[in-house]
Structure 1
Amino acid sequence: MQPALWLPIGLHFAWNFTHAGVFGVMLSGSGTPPQGLLSVTLSGPAALTGGTFGPEASLLALLVCLAPTILLVRRAARTGQIRHRPHRAKLPA
């Protein structure tokens, strides 16, 4: 079965739309924040707000993405969907 790309593409679109279209915060270090439905001002430590790069570079975004990644990798390992790379034969010196 081929992996479907529609899910990660849709999640990426939803992520960007929510940041820019709804909250009006910067995306990936763009210079000026876009006009969103809400007027949001991020303040606080750069580790939590993402600093000048925007919320995508924050620890919160890392945790939001890391949690499902761990769950999905564990599920794939349990169901045998992860294949180990074959070992290379050692060449004589």
Structure 2
Amino acid sequence: MATKEIILNKIQILITNHFGSPEEAFSFFDKNSNGKLTKKEIVKLLKQAKISGFIRGIVANRLIDGYDKDGDGLIDWEEFKFAIDDISDKSR
């Protein structure tokens, strides 16, 4: 199974290489434009980041568990921004 660092690095690479900003990435994956990412939308982000299909659901759940500060089971913009900042800090 991929390590946490590898997964976080792949997410950072996706956002850095394919989007002009984290805001652009968030908007792209927020398909219903409700300002929150569902597990399904996060799984699509992970697929774009080339995370193995076998573990995408597990990783999505862990990302939600780790960054969903308001406990609604979704990732809003502030939570997403915190996650991206956290990923960037860990890759330095």
TM-score for the superposition, normalised by structure 2: 0.31
Point out the structure with the larger strand share. Answer: 2
Greater RCO, 1 or 2 (C-alpha within 8 Å, sep 6+)? 2
User: Which has the larger Rg?
Assistant: 1
Point out the structure with the larger helix share. Answer: 2
TM-score for the superposition, normalised by structure 1: 0.31
